[in-house]
Amino acid sequence: MKVYNKLVRDKIPEIIEADGKYCKTRILSGEEYIAALEAKLNEEVAEYQKDKNLEEIADVFEVLQAICIARGYSLEELEALRAKKASERGGFADKIFLEYVE
């Protein structure tokens, strides 16, 4: 038996069972879900930092979207705020690194 005690994608139990294995799962409460998502975000960011590939970026993005929805926001609200901030303050495309201000 291998213990995971972590949030997994929705189809993971089906995949495990299709492989002929048994898994025990439970549905998290709202508070537990947000805490598990935040732990998952840390896990996915660490994996991205290690591997630096598109798959890990997609995983981070998926978790961020789930956190947004779990906290009661829509993805449309998120994108609108992102676009507003980019319009007002810019993005990161110019690669500007601020060293100091006097």
d(CA 36, CA 27): 11
Predicted TM-score (pTM) of the model is 0.90
**Is 94 within a domain?**
no
**Is 97 within a domain?**
no
In which band, very low, low, confident or very high, does the pLDDT at 69 lie, cut at 50, 70 and 90?
A: very high
Task: State the total domains in the chain.
Answer: 1
In which band, very low, low, confident or very high, does the pLDDT at 36 lie, cut at 50, 70 and 90?
A: very high
Q: What is the rounded average pLDDT of the residues 58-81? A: 98
d(CA 13, CA 21): 9
**Is 23 within a domain?**
no
**Is 43 within a domain?**
yes
The contacts of residue 78 (CB under 8 Å, 6+ apart) are: 65, 68
φ/ψ (deg, to 5) at 3? -95, 130
**49 lies in which domain range?**
28-88
